[in-house]
Amino acid sequence: DAGVIQSPRHEVTEMGQEVTLRCKPISGHNSLFWYRQTMMRGLELLIYFNNNVPIDDSGMPEDRFSAKMPNASFSTLKIQPSEPRDSAVYFCASRPVGIGYTFGSGTRLTVV
């Protein structure tokens, strides 16, 4: 089991550019979560999916952020246009029913 796989590990982009973060959850896990981690705000839940359906996107900061899960093995988080305040580590996590999350190693995003 390779765990939750995120790509890229690091992303540096210029303000105004589109950024796409990718996640492959663990096979058989039916829930997927996107979190953002910063020193100031800690771990914030952005959005989560159950069986590929978005359940709660109340944590998505604004319309610049969007997330999709076209199938059970892939999800994307897109920021368009990106801003310096979006700089953070973005984590994807997945879980089967009733058990704790497994996090990926994260994508460190820097917007300059």
Partner 1 sequence: QQQVKQSPQSLIVQKGGISIINCAYENTAFDYFPWYQQFPGKGPALLIAIRPDVSEKKEGRFTISFNKSAKQFSLHIMDSQPGDSATYFCAASSLVYNTDKLIFGTGTRLQVFP
82 vs 94, which CB is nearer to partner 1?
94
Which of 20, 66, 73, 105: binder of partner 1 (CB under 8 A)? 105
Q: Which of 26, 29, 33, 65 binds partner 1 (CB under 8 A)?
A: 33
Q: Considering the rule CB under 8 A, would residue 48 count as an interface residue with partner 1?
A: yes
Site for partner 1 in 49-88 (CB under 8 A): 56
Helix (H) or strand (E) holding 20: strand 19-24
φ, ψ of residue 44 to 5 degrees: the values are -115, 130
- 18 vs 44 by CB, closer to partner 1: 44
CA gap 33, 98 in Å, rounded: 14
- Count each helix (H run) and each strand (E run) in the chain, helices first: 0, 11
